[in-house]
Amino acid sequence: MPPFRSALTHLLQARFPLLFVESFEEQRVLDEIDAAVAGLKTPRALWRWSATEGLRRAGGPPERETHAPAAMLQGVARVHERAVFVLSDLHAFLGDGTQQADPLTVRALRDVVRDFRAGELARTVIVVAPVLRIPPELEKDVTVVDFALPGEPEIRDLLEGMIIRNRDTVHVALDERGRDRLTKAALGMTLAEAENAVSLAMVNGSALTESDVELVLAEKAQTIRKTGLLELVRSEIDLADVGGLDALKSWLDKRRDSWLAEAAAYGLPAPKGVLITGVPGCGKSLTAKAAAAAWGLPLIRMDIGRVFAGLVGASEHNMRSALATAEACAPCVLWVDEIDKGFAGAGTASDTGTSARVFGTFLTWLQEKTGPVFVIATANRIENLPPEFLRKGRFDEIFFVDLPDSYERADIWRLHLTRRPAGPAGGPELTPELLRELAGISEGFSGAEIEQAVVSGLFEAYFDRRALTAADLLHAVRNTVPLSTLHAAQVAELREWAKLRAVPASRSLGNDGLAPE
């Protein structure tokens, strides 16, 4: 029995008077409720209500004058039989933080709960809504029942059913691997959204092939973006495209495919994630993008700032919704960028309580999650985070990204100069001598500052419509004051903090200012 149906069955058998199911998939929820009611040992009548149809017993005509919620609830109270009442539009009358709930509706619902609890007949009201809205008067009476997004079996059944129904008009060139990839690409979508995405793939050339995975992913990116909290980030870079950070890249590479059944057979749990802190501009965000691309997993970015909405209770709901969506997309990488800014001050005297509650929700999920969602959190000012965030068990490891040493600077220069064409005639020849000179003169530079030096040199060359030269690069470096000079005290403070609390992201090769030959 599916988890939702099983939980609902137990609640109905226990005669809970008021349940609330939050989901955008109304029809799917209604189907599951029908199945749960039909499977009860003691039969119950099924009643439904919507603002357009009014209250009606399944298979019967609507009751008169029951379109208004208060009148409908009074009608519910008059039903003297074992019954389950499914209410689809009631959330619109329960307030949303900007407007007060309808007092007549709230009072009538409380009366129904009182009568159902005291009566001898087993009767339950189930509110089905896309958003969770519970007035304070009902907080102690209502039980929230989780309804997850469809998992891999449900989406695979949908795909197979659509293939069968369209086999006369759509050519299907998908082997077992292709069907598996297409199914995984649709994880995190509702069944309706997944059906729309597969339908679009089918009409795209009147064929369904493995290349349509990209089209489904593009549709999922739109779906995730509509939440306003998450964003599906596409990245083409690999870990090899990240200069330096050998220790961090090696650690990530060893956890490749760790979410597969083969790893579970070794007794390995799915890795929880990693916290990457350090000097700004040294590759923290780039590493998150590269890790997801290298592992072949979707990268989902969470915007902590958007989680904190203005409505009372909305921030906690936003966090739960975002985490549920991430788990539905598993296996995936959840990238929480600049987490220190989002949770700075949580639990302090200046916090009104919202930040602490949202932070607590995230911490609990991070500790207890069982799905293969690998979290990569990046932070610049680690001291702004609450201490409980840094304790062992939250993350598998905490890495500190320092300014690149001479060897890493040479590698970063080589990567950026190789990646750009540098004009029709090409750039300077990347000899060991030139790389040693560039690495030496750019001591104290971050990776981002080296990249900007390359860009500045390219602008100089482009202005004269000539090839990039070594002199352009050296001039750009000499005219740049690095962050390590402007904020030397802060960088020193970060390094001091990391000595005993974090693992270096780079293997120490010495900061002698010279790249190896």
pLDDT tens digits, one per residue of 460-470: 888 888 888 88
The average pLDDT across 19-31 equals 93
Which residues does residue 62 pair with via DSSP β-bridges, in sequence order? 56
For residue 430, report the phi and psi dihedrals to the nearest 5 degrees: -85, 75
pLDDT at 101 over 90: no
Same fold, 3-145 and 406-486: no
Strands (E), 207-364: 207-209, 230-233, 273-278, 299-302, 332-336
pLDDT at 40 over 60: yes
Query: Looking at residue 44, what is its pLDDT?
Result: 94
The candidate with the shortest Cα–Cα distance to 442, out of 496, 400, 502, 482, is 482
Percent of the chain exceeding pLDDT 70 equals: 93
CATH class of 152-226: mainly alpha
Query: Looking at residue 3, what is its pLDDT?
Result: 86
State which H helix or E strand residue 48 sits in: strand 45-50
On whether the CB atoms of residues 131 and 91 are closer than 8 A, the answer is yes
The average pLDDT across 204-218 equals 81
Which residues does residue 171 pair with via DSSP β-bridges, in sequence order? 207
Average pLDDT score, the chain: 85
Q: What counts of helices (H) and strands (E) characterise the chain?
A: 21, 15
For residue 439, report the phi and psi dihedrals to the nearest 5 degrees: -65, -35
Query: Looking at residue 422, what is its pLDDT?
Result: 61
The average pLDDT across 319-337 equals 86
The average pLDDT across 39-54 equals 93
CB-based contacts of 418, cutoff 8 Å, min separation 6: 430
How many C-beta atoms surround the C-beta of residue 460 within 10 A? Answer: 16
How many C-beta atoms surround the C-beta of residue 18 within 10 A? Answer: 20
Q: CATH topology for 3-145? A: Rossmann fold (3.40.50)
The average pLDDT across 486-514 equals 74
On whether the CB atoms of residues 219 and 204 are closer than 8 A, the answer is no
Which residues does residue 126 pair with via DSSP β-bridges, in sequence order? 19, 86
Pairwise CA distance, residues 208 & 24, whole Å: 28
The average pLDDT across 79-88 equals 94
Fill in the amino acid letter for 40. L
The candidate with the shortest Cα–Cα distance to 16, out of 32, 36, 30, is 36
Output the CA angle 119-91-60, nearest 5 degrees.
Answer: 60
Domain boundaries, the chain: 3-145, 152-226, 239-401, 406-486
| Of 29 and 370, more confident | 29
pLDDT at 283 over 50: yes
Domain 239-401 has CATH 3.30.230.10: no
Look up residue 395 and give its DSSP letter: S
The candidate with the shortest Cα–Cα distance to 343, out of 318, 366, 360, is 360
Pairwise CA distance, residues 242 & 256, whole Å: 17
How many C-beta atoms surround the C-beta of residue 144 within 10 A? Answer: 12
The candidate with the shortest Cα–Cα distance to 449, out of 481, 487, 486, 405, is 481
Four-CA torsion 320, 87, 193, 191, nearest 10 degrees: 90
Query: Looking at residue 515, what is its pLDDT?
Result: 40
pLDDT at 393 over 80: no
Pairwise CA distance, residues 364 & 362, whole Å: 6
| pLDDT tens-digit readout, 261-272 | 778 888 888 888
Q: How many residues does the chain have?
A: 517
Query: Looking at residue 37, what is its pLDDT?
Result: 95
The average pLDDT across 146-151 equals 88
The average pLDDT across 248-274 equals 84
Return the top range by mean pLDDT from 161-165, 313-317, 318-322, 348-352. 161-165
Q: Biggest alpha carbon distance in the chain?
A: 91
pLDDT confidence bin for 127, thresholds 50/70/90: very high
Pairwise CA distance, residues 261 & 305, whole Å: 36
pLDDT at 275 over 80: yes
The answer to which of 98-102, 131-135, 396-400 has the lowest mean pLDDT is 98-102
125 three-state secondary structure: strand
pLDDT confidence bin for 322, thresholds 50/70/90: confident
CATH class of 406-486: mainly alpha
CA dist list (Å): 410 to 87, 107, 203, 286, 301: 65, 72, 50, 18, 30
